[in-house]
Amino acid sequence: MIAKYVEAGFSLIYIRTSEEERVVNLLLEDLKSSGLPSMKVLVWKPTMGLVPYGGDPRYDLIKESLEESLLYMVAPEGRDGPEPDVIYIIFGLRHFLERPAVVQGLRDAAWRLRTVGSHVIAIGPDVDLPTELADITTVVDFPLPTTEELSDLFRRITAEYAQLLSDEVGDGLIKKIAEVSKDCRSVKRVDLATGGKRCCALDC
C-alpha cells in the first residue's frame, strides 16, 4: 500500500493511524515485497531520538532532537547532500508542529530528499498540518485490519485456550472486535455541543 507512494516519489508522507507499530511492520513488509531497491530505515521517536530501525539508542543514537534529526536528513555528516534510498520514520510529529524550526526542517527535507529517492514518513493519529506543510504532505489513512487479519491474530492469541472456545464463540468475538474498530474509526471531530473533544464508541 505505502510502497506505491514511495515509488511515485512522494517525499513527505503522513500515515494517519493509532496503530503505529502495526503500520511500521506492514510498511516494511510492503517495501520488501514491492520490488523496490532495498532501503535503509531510520526511526525518530521523542523517547529515543534518531536511530537505525531496531537499534538501541544507548549505542546507536544518531541525533537526539527532531530539529537536529531533520538537519541530518538534509545533510548527514561527511556528505554534501542527503543520503539516497533512506526511509525516515517519525513518531509523535503532531506534538512538535508549533516549532518553526521543525516546520521549516520538514519543508527542507521534503525538497532535498525528493532529489535522491529518500522519504520522510510520519505516523500518528489525526493531525492539523500547518499551511506550510499541507500542500507538500501526502496524507494516507491506513485501513483497519480486515476480518481475516483479526481472525488470524485472535486464533494465534487464543491457541492455548482453544479447547475452551468453540468456533461459533470465536467467530462472534472477532465480529464484535471488527465492529468496535469501525465505530472508533468512523468517529470524527464533534461539534461544540460535546466540548470539542474526540471520543470513541467505547467511551463517548
**Alpha-carbon separation of residue 93 from 76, 125, 128, 140, 169 (angstroms):** 21, 10, 11, 15, 40
Say what the pLDDT of residue 26 is.
86
Q: Indicate whether this model's pTM tops 0.75.
A: no
Say what the pLDDT of residue 203 is.
38
Strand partners, 42: 52, 88
Domain 3-141 homologous superfamily, CATH: P-loop containing nucleotide triphosphate hydrolases (3.40.50.300)
Q: Where are the beta strands (DSSP E) in the chain?
A: 12-16, 40-45, 49-52, 86-91, 119-124, 138-141
Say what the pLDDT of residue 158 is.
61
Please report, for the chain, the start and end positions of each structural domain, with discontinuous segments joined by +.
3-141, 147-194
Alpha-carbon gap, residue 142 to 15, rounded angstroms: 6
- How does strand 138-141 pair with strand 119-124? unpaired
For the chain, residues with pLDDT lower than 70 are 143-204
Say what the pLDDT of residue 185 is.
46
pLDDT in tens, 120-146: 999 998 889 999 999 999 999 876 666
At residue 122's C-alpha, the angle toward residues 118 and 127, to 5°, is 145
